[in-house]
Amino acid sequence: MRPGMSIFNFGSDSAESDVRGANRISTSDLDQLDYFAAANGITEQQARDLIQKHGNNLAVLVKEARKLRELG
C-alpha cells in the first residue's frame, strides 16, 4: 500500500501519468484494489465484482461494499 492512501483518496505520484480521477478505482491497479477491499471489509474478488457490476465510482462502491458487509 502506498503512503498517503485513505478510503477516499488513493494518493498518486505526480510522476505517474494517471488520467483516472481520484474518486475512481481501477481493477488493474492491484494496490488500489487490495486497499479498497481491506478498508471496506470485503475480499478482493468481491471488490472486482462490485466494480464490474456498479462501475468504478468510489462513493458508489463504498456504499455497495457496506451493503455486502451487512448481508454477510
pLDDT tens profile 35-52 = 999 999 999 999 999 999
The number of distinct structural domains making up the chain is 1
Task: Look at 22 and 56; give whichever has higher pLDDT.
Answer: 56
Q: What is residue 14's three-state secondary structure? A: coil
Cell (9 digits) for 52: 464490474
Q: Which burial class, exposed, middle or buried, applies to 5 when counting CB atoms under 10 A from its CB (0-12, 13-18, 19+)? A: middle
pLDDT tens profile 20-33 = 577 998 889 999 99
Query: Considering the entire predicted model, what is its pTM?
Result: 0.70
What distance in Å separates the CA atoms of residue 63 and residue 3, rounded to the nearest whole number?
A: 24
Q: Which burial class, exposed, middle or buried, applies to 71 when counting CB atoms under 10 A from its CB (0-12, 13-18, 19+)? A: exposed
pLDDT of residue 16: 45
pLDDT at 18 over 60: no
Range of the domain at 20: 1-72
